Amino acid sequence: MSLALGVLISGRGSNLMAILDAIDRGSLDATVKLVASNKLNAAGLERAKERGVPTVYLDPKPFTQETNPREAYDRAMGALLQHHGVKYVALAGYMRIVTPTLIRMYPSKIFNIHPSLLPAFPGLDAQRQALEWGAKVSGCTVHLVTEGVDEGPIIVQAAVPILEGDTVESLSARILENEHECYPQALQLMAQQRLHLEGRQVHILS
């Protein structure tokens, strides 16, 4: 099964590029139907355009007049994704908390990558959290998105040792290298229909 992917970004789009590179190499059976951003100047939009991928900037400001701006925004984002034939969604450095509105439009079909070994250090600044707690190992986690922040079922993880003298920047860089491998791997497992969700656990079928 080839995944019809939508990718949501807010910044440089390095995980987006890793996904596109994996598709080009033939290690990920997917097509990126749309790259969407909540930031007009997100560098990943330009990088996607250069690869011939449709892009859109969805401005959050017009939704501030709505009764529930975040849900109204996600309703519009979901409609855009559906219009472009998106069946699965990958959050790749998307700096918005996804509301139940979008999650219900794509139940168990939204992926996220987080720079820690969840459930440790959810939320923002995970690398800084790990260093401040004196953790010896960090890493990254690809998980399905649920209504709790960084609480969804875990698909793939990679451990990254924390070295003496590590800074947020040096640790983040090493974690990011692993993210670029793990995200396409997790998406390919979905494309191969090898993911079986049972409660909050994901079983990988052989």
CATH number of 112-206: 3.40.50.170
User: pLDDT per residue over 31-70, tens digit each?
Assistant: 999 999 999 999 999 999 999 999 999 999 999 998 999 9
Six-digit token string for 160: 């990254």
Rounded Cα distance, 108 and 129, in Å = 28
The pLDDT score that the predictor gives to residue 177 is 98
Q: Do domains 1-107 and 112-206 have the same CATH topology?
A: yes
**How confident is the model over 191-204, as a mean pLDDT?**
96
Active site residue 114: yes
Question: Cα 55 to the chain's mean position, in Å?
Answer: 16
User: pLDDT per residue over 75-105, tens digit each?
Assistant: 999 999 999 999 999 999 999 999 999 999 9
The alpha-helical segments, DSSP class H, found in 51-199 are: 69-83, 100-105, 126-132, 168-191
- Catalytic residue, candidates 83, 114, 196, 203: 114
The pLDDT score that the predictor gives to residue 34 is 98
What is the CATH topology of the domain spanning 1-107?
A: Rossmann fold (3.40.50)
The pLDDT score that the predictor gives to residue 96 is 94
- What average pLDDT does the chain have? 97
The pLDDT score that the predictor gives to residue 143 is 98
Query: Can you give the residue ranges of every domain in the chain?
Result: 1-107, 112-206
User: pLDDT per residue over 102-141, tens digit each?
Assistant: 999 999 999 999 999 999 999 999 999 999 999 999 999 9
